[in-house]
Structure 1
Amino acid sequence: MSAALITSSALALVVAGAACLYLASPRQSLSRLRWRKAGLFAAAFLLAAWLVWTIRLESSTAFFATLAALMPLLIALPSLVALKGKK
């Protein structure tokens, strides 16, 4: 597999995991219905992203790459939803 395909698939899994973490939070405002299994899906997506990154990176480097990609998304998702709601 090429490095670009591995990186883009791992980043897509991190985005999906961050979205599931946002949906699992009790005070999120995107949808009033709580998605019950979102926390489990978030863990599965983030674990899959780590496993994809371990194809090209060492396991500890892949772990920190997953966390480094997740941190800005955890800040951006609530901000984007708040900006969407200000209309």
Structure 2
Amino acid sequence: MDINNETIIHHYFLSLITFIQQAKTVLKQLAQAQHDEAWVLAEQVSERKLEKNDVYLPDNLLSMGYANQAVDTTATHQWLQQLIPTLPETDQT
């Protein structure tokens, strides 16, 4: 089997285009999805302690505190809405 540089580059770009298409699909799905409250998303984070005394807080307060400081679902949704139209078209034809 004879593999030349042109074949390698061709396969590389096909892989890159596939990756971009998959990423664009995921971003579109995220933009269209219902967004949970920030504290619900914060519950998914394993390490939510931000301040030295956070070790004493119950999980629900820890989640709310983390969400208030680290999660902004509204801004993220707006950013996705602005980003998606700027993504490149990746037709392989």
Give the structure with higher Rg (CA). 2
Question: Please, what TM-score do these two structures have when normalized by structure 1?
Answer: 0.36
More helix by share: 1
Question: Please, what TM-score do these two structures have when normalized by structure 2?
Answer: 0.35
